[in-house]
């Protein structure tokens, strides 16, 4: 083992919205999921991270949004940096300075952009030159959904069976669906009461419907890939909405049961259905949190934005679209 001093690298990674959900780990240590998943990387939510390996440091230093991180948060970053150090064959401690342009732990996949950016900046700062596929494998070790944020656009996380075979790949959409718009409704900015990791474990171990979820999620994945390939927005939206509800059914059927939705979540879901009834085609999806993402096409985006701005206030409505993969500063 050697030291690696004062090489600072910055990277930006964008969050992604899961359209076919990953919910449950077959291997919690390596973060190998029970099911494959599919997402869309978003342009409006991202994390910027700078990593410097510095011989003068006696321990890793982690700064997130100008606040020093200790305790469990520090441990999670430290453990991830240790994976990088082992691969790079160095022992040097690092300083991590990260800024989140996305609410943390509110169901907007902040951990996805955070660990994708950390994987990119940390590996390069340690002297590694990883391919996107290797970066995806590495990012997965920090947060499962982070493996998808290495790429832009539609991305599939292939569940695999081990560390080598579980990684994300881009999904091409040559024939269309290039104008998918995402209206993010941030109805709650506070940290969610139960983490995704806790929630997945509870769903896997106590929901009687979990084995059925594993089977049907793969059916949903094949169907949505077909919809993307065939430029079928209606089928794309229907599958996205249904898969989200199937995932949240697992939280309601767990023991003890729990729910991420709040009153504004439910009101927003009902409004999406009302808009559809009125001829404005849109669909919702919701990850592990109360915040809602509304999917529509460009021709309806003004109507959807105006409706939710009037309903929730402009500060809770963000228009996003397909975003880029990880890149260095």
Residues 168, 186 within the same domain: no
Question: Are the C-beta atoms of residues 8 and 96 closer than 8 Å to each other?
Answer: no
Residues 77, 149 within the same domain: yes
Mind spelling out the 3-state secondary structure of 226-288?
Answer: HHHHCCCHHHHHHHHHHHHHHHHHHHHCCCCCCCCCCHHHHHHHHHHHHHHHCCCCEEEEECC
Q: What is the predicted pLDDT for the residue at 106?
A: 44
C-alpha 132/C-alpha 137 separation (Å) is 9
Report yes or no on 52 lying in a domain: yes
Strand partners, 27: 32
Residues 169, 191 within the same domain: no
Report yes or no on 36 lying in a domain: yes
C-alpha 292/C-alpha 138 separation (Å) is 29
φ and ψ at residue 316, rounded to 5 degrees: -105, 5
Report yes or no on 327 lying in a domain: no
Classify burial at 215, counting beta carbons within 10 Å of its beta carbon; exposed 0-12, middle 13-18, buried 19 or more.
Answer: exposed
Q: Which of 173, 197, 219 is the last residue of a domain?
A: 173
CATH of residue 240's domain is: 3.30.70.890
Lowest mean pLDDT among 67-71, 101-105, 150-154, 224-228: 101-105
Q: Over pLDDT 90: what percentage of the chain? A: 86
- Reference 163, options 145, 136, 129, 130; nearest CA is 136
Helix pair 233-252, 196-206: axis angle to 10 deg:
80
Report yes or no on 2 lying in a domain: no
Reported confidence tier of residue 27, pLDDT bands at 50, 70, 90: very high
Residue in the block written with tokens 């997945």: 200
Question: Are the C-beta atoms of residues 17 and 43 closer than 8 Å to each other?
Answer: no
Q: Which of 125, 153, 173 is the last residue of a domain?
A: 173
pLDDT in tens, 170-193: 997 665 688 899 999 998 877 777
The overall pTM is greater than 0.85: yes
Q: What is the predicted pLDDT for the residue at 124?
A: 96
Which residue segment(s) compose the domain that 211 sits in?
A: 180-321
How many distinct structural domains can be found in the chain? 2
Residues 124, 41 within the same domain: yes
- Reference 47, options 7, 104, 86; nearest CA is 104
Residues 164, 305 within the same domain: no
C-alpha 240/C-alpha 242 separation (Å) is 6
Q: Is 198 helix (H, G, I), strand (E, B) or coil?
A: helix
Q: What is the predicted pLDDT for the residue at 105?
A: 44
Residues 208, 105 within the same domain: no
Residues 16, 136 within the same domain: yes
Residues 245, 297 within the same domain: yes
What's the rounded mean pLDDT across residues 270-287?
97
Q: Which of 138, 173, 208 is the last residue of a domain?
A: 173
Residues 116, 230 within the same domain: no
pLDDT in tens, 285-299: 999 889 999 999 999
Residues 161, 257 within the same domain: no
Residues 165, 187 within the same domain: no
């Amino acid at each position: 083992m050697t030291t690696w001093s004062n090489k600072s690298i910055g990277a930006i990674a964008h969050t992604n919205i899961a359209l076919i959900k990953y919910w449950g780990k077959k291997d919690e240590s390596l973060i190998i999921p029970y099911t494959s998943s599919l997402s869309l990387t978003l342009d409006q939510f991202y994390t910027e991270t700078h990593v410097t390996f510095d011989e003068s440091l006696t321990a890793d230093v982690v700064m997130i949004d100008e606040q020093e991180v200790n305790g469990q948060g520090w441990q999670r970053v430290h453990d991830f940096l240790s994976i990088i150090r082992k691969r790079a064959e160095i022992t040097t401690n690092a300083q991590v300075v990260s800024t989140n342009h996305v609410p943390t732990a509110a169901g907007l996949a902040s951990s996805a952009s955070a660990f994708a950016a950390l994987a990119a900046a940390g590996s390069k700062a340690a002297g590694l030159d990883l391919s996107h596929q290797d970066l995806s494998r590495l990012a997965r070790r920090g947060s499962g959904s982070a493996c998808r944020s290495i790429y832009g656009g539609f991305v599939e996380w292939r569940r695999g069976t081990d560390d080598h075979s579980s990684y994300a790949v881009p999904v091409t959409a040559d024939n269309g669906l290039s104008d998918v718009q995402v209206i993010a409704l941030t109805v709650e900015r506070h940290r969610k009461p139960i983490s995704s990791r806790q929630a997945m474990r509870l769903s896997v171990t106590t929901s009687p419907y979990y084995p059925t979820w594993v089977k049907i999620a793969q059916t949903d994945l094949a169907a949505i890939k077909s919809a993307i390939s065939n430029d079928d927005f209606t089928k794309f939206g229907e599958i996205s909405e249904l898969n989200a509800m199937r995932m949240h059914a697992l939280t309601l059927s767990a023991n003890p049961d729990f729910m991420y939705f709040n009153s504004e979540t439910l009101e927003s879901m009902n409004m999406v259905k009302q808009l559809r009834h009125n001829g404005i085609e849109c669909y919702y999806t919701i990850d592990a949190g109360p915040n809602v993402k509304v999917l529509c096409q460009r021709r309806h985006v003004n109507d959807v934005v105006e409706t939710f701005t009037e309903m929730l206030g402009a500060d809770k409505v963000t228009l996003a679209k397909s975003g880029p993969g990880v890149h260095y500063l």
